[in-house]
Chains A and B, each alone.
Chain A
């Protein structure tokens, strides 16, 4: 699947045209994955794209920002328990990250901002998912 929304970005960033085109393939594959019960199946991690493109993660992040600016994907910040590695909660903006979070995986444990991990993942925007009918 090609994304017409990305054409202006390809023209504006000719140095990244090849990377954006290859990222389109990867993003299409993720989009086409079936699965309603596990929404994480449609998550895009910068490191995965970097692996696919054989580039460093900062460059993958630049490419993903094009998709973000084009309204295809949007960032999500997962707060991760430092002990179990499980996701505690997710936030749409980094500014919403809590100062302290109660851990559902450890009894009577709270993790502060300095303790928990944060993972940046991208998910398809609801507009894009509706427009292209995200497979279930």
Chain B
């Protein structure tokens, strides 16, 4: 007889840790129900981590820093078609960002819808806004820490308060500011790869705790890991550097290192979008920010969130942070699942 398979052993170990006797018994029975066979088999959970690879070439990624010129990812096109789809998806996979200019096309909201159709389904709501395409127009009275404010908007990913952050974001600029309002993008992959490997792995694993941070904005609250695997097995960075986030003290030093690294000017791609520009980027990998808007501007753009790539594209294109060593990925995954007690403070009147 060979030894009991490793995966079943691990499941049994977790089940035996359960304090509740009834629940423990149920777990053990269920594991036996699904896994124990008369034959000895090599059971090994192989979560399809297709987006993870051992090197950048295999991960089909080109991490970038300040050396990236926005012209390198900008494309002048005549129409929204399958060629444009390939261009955007290749950019998304390699650089995480793509800029499109459609010749002689007015910035109506059907354009962003047509572009989204090439990539995946639109999220039906964005924070407290119900609808798949939101008009963003900064105003003095706009809510803080949102695109609606004129003030400087720090680096962040969108949808931090949702249970799943959108994988891809699309901005379509109707009218740009004349002064200020520079758009900033940072490739988290590049910044992370520049951290010493041992330190980087520690950081990724620690920030994968399910109680790493709490995000509170517009009446929505989400507590979860800052680094986690999406349902499609991409490694996601959910982070922001403003008052919306409250970081677990146990993650504070790692969070501060991320903050310092991501805010390093060495990693900034900075430019002012022109009217009509469409910016598509990987929200699981790329952080975005915007400088203060000055004067009496009418800066307007449409914003759309894409929840997941189209099923036909899922096996073909990789998104998110990569490459990640398999051992680290396994530890991140285990950390994501770790049971922790999230103590909610009672509301005070």
Q: B105: which A residues are within 8 A, CB to CB?
A: none
- Chain A residues, Cβ within 8 Å of B23: 15-16, 59, 62
**Shortest Cβ distance from A122 into chain B, in angstroms?**
10
Question: With an 8 A cutoff between CB atoms, is A54 at the interface?
Answer: yes
A56 with B312: CB separation less than 8 A? no
- Determine the distance from Cα of A57 to Cα of B15 in the docked complex, in whole angstroms: 9
CB distance from A127 to the nearest CB of B (A): 21
**Which of B31, B40, B48, B340 meets A58, CB within 8 Å?**
B31
- Residues 11-39 of A, flagged 1 when their CB comes within 8 A of B and 0 if not, give 00001100000000000001001110110
Chain B nearest Cβ from A110, distance in angstroms: 14
Q: How does the 8 Å CB contact mask read for B278-299 relative to A, with 1 for contact and 0 for none?
A: 0000000000000000000000
The answer, among B20, B308, B315, for a CB contact under 8 Å with A38, is B315
In the assembled complex, the CB of B251 is this many whole angstroms from the nearest CB of chain A, namely 16
Q: B308 contacts which chain A residues (CB < 8 A)?
A: 33
Q: B141 at the A/B interface (Cβ < 8 Å)? A: no
Indicate if the CB atoms of B35 and A94 lie closer than 8 Å: yes
| Residue ID in chain B nearest A119 by CB atoms | B46
Of B18, B42, B312, which one neighbours A113 at CB under 8 angstroms?
B42
Minimum distance in angstroms from B224 CB to a CB of chain A: 8
**Interface range for A:** 35 or more
**Cα A117 to Cα B43 with chains together (Å):** 5
Q: Return the contact of B42 from the options A33, A75, A99, A114 (Cβ within 8 A).
A: A114
Interface residue total, chain B, C-beta cutoff 8 A: 48
Q: Does B249 sit within 8 A of A, measured CB to CB?
A: no
Complex: A62 Cα to B30 Cα, angstroms? 6
Which of A35, A85, A119 is B311 in contact with, Cβ under 8 Å? A35
User: Which partner residue on chain B sits nearest A41 by CB separation?
Assistant: B311
Q: Among B40, B121, B231, B311, which residue has its beta carbon within 8 angstroms of that of A48? A: B231
Interface-centre pick from A57, A65, A82, A113 (highest chain B CB count, 10 A): A57
A54 touching B210, Cβ below 8 Å: yes
- Chain B 9-32 interface mask (CB, 8 Å, partner A; 1/0): 001101101101011001110110
Contact indicator B30/A34 (Cβ below 8 Å): no
Name B211's closest neighbour in chain A (CB-CB). Answer: A54
Contact between A118 and B44 (Cβ–Cβ < 8 Å)?
A: yes
Interface pair B47/A38, CB less than 8 Å apart = no
Q: Mark B220-247 against chain A: 1 for CB-CB distance below 8 A, else 0.
A: 0000100011010000000000000000
Is A5 an interface residue, CB under 8 A from the partner? no
Indicate if the CB atoms of B22 and A118 lie closer than 8 Å.
no
Q: How distant is the Cα of A59 from the Cα of B336 in the complex, in angstroms?
A: 15
CA distance A99 to B38 in the complex (A): 12
Q: Is the CB of A55 within 8 A of B41?
A: no
Within 8 Å by CB of B337, from A57, A116, A118, lies: A57
Assess the B41–A114 pair: CB atoms within 8 A.
Answer: yes
B2 CB within 8 Å of chain A = yes
28 A/B residue pairs, CB under 8 Å, sorted by A = A33-B311, A37-B311, A47-B45, A54-B210, A54-B339, A54-B340, A55-B339, A56-B15, A56-B17, A58-B18, A58-B27, A58-B28, A61-B27, A61-B30, A62-B30, A65-B33, A75-B34, A82-B42, A85-B46, A85-B48, A95-B37, A97-B39, A114-B2, A117-B42, A118-B43, A119-B45, A120-B34, A120-B35
Per CB-CB distance, the 9 closest pairs between chain A and chain B, nearest first, are A35-B311, A58-B27, A117-B44, A58-B15, A41-B311, A54-B210, A56-B14, A38-B311, A62-B30
